[in-house]
């Protein structure tokens, strides 16, 4: 088996296990991830705005 496929399989199993065993904690992790992405996008937008000025 390819190493990438094994790692992907392990990641999927981990995510499913986390969602099944503790859905509230899994939802918190997803929310934290989206907040991080949103924060990064805002930072890039602010940087580009200041760059253009």
Measured CA to CA, the distance from residue 29 to residue 24 in angstroms comes to 9
What is residue 47's predicted lDDT score, i.e. its pLDDT?
95
Asked whether 26 and 19 are in contact (CB, 8 A), the reply is yes
Phi (first) and psi of residue 39, to 5 degrees: -65, -40
1, pLDDT greater than 80? no
What is residue 33's predicted lDDT score, i.e. its pLDDT?
93
45, pLDDT greater than 80? yes
**Would you tell me the crossing angle of helices 3-21 and 23-52 to the nearest 10 degrees?**
120
Residues 6-39 pLDDT 10s: 999 999 999 899 899 999 988 998 999 999 999 9
């Amino acid at each position: 088996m390819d190493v990438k496929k094994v790692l992907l399989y392990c990641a999927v199993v981990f995510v499913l296990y986390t969602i099944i065993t503790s859905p509230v904690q899994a939802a918190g992790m997803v929310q934290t991830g989206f907040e991080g992405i949103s924060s990064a996008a805002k930072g890039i937008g602010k940087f580009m705005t200041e760059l253009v000025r």
